[in-house]
Amino acid sequence: MSVTGPDFISLQVRDLERSAEFYEQHLGLTRQPGPPHAVVFATTPIAFAVRERVPGSGVADAPEPGVGVAVWFHAPDAQAIHDELSAAGVRIVDAPVDGPFGRTFTFEDPDGYRITLHDRA
């Protein structure tokens, strides 16, 4: 028996609506129906959500719950999204570079999660 890979990614956040709006506004993600304590987005091939912090999880009291987590998203034009994020004042952690995953860069969301975007499918 073996695991086939990630099937759902959920990030615990300090302010659910603020985080949901960040991903909608800056990455163009679209909400889909989900539970009241989370915002689930219509992403493929893996479902992605932001959710309220879970008491007792070790994340509930963390000042930056995203430290140490690596999340990568594919985007057809990573450079264009970088330029929009940068213009909006979003913290860019690693500037765009060309590498094995195409044009790649990393930014920080409102909870300190470092999100990497790449454009090679």
Q: What pLDDT tens digit does each residue of the chain (121 aa) get?
A: 776 778 899 999 989 999 999 999 999 999 999 999 999 999 999 999 999 987 776 665 667 766 667 889 999 999 999 999 999 999 999 999 999 999 999 999 998 889 999 998 7
- Kindly calculate the radius of gyration of the chain based on its CA atoms and give it in whole angstroms: 15
Q: How many CA atoms lie within 13 A of 35 on its CB side?
A: 7
pTM of the model: 0.84
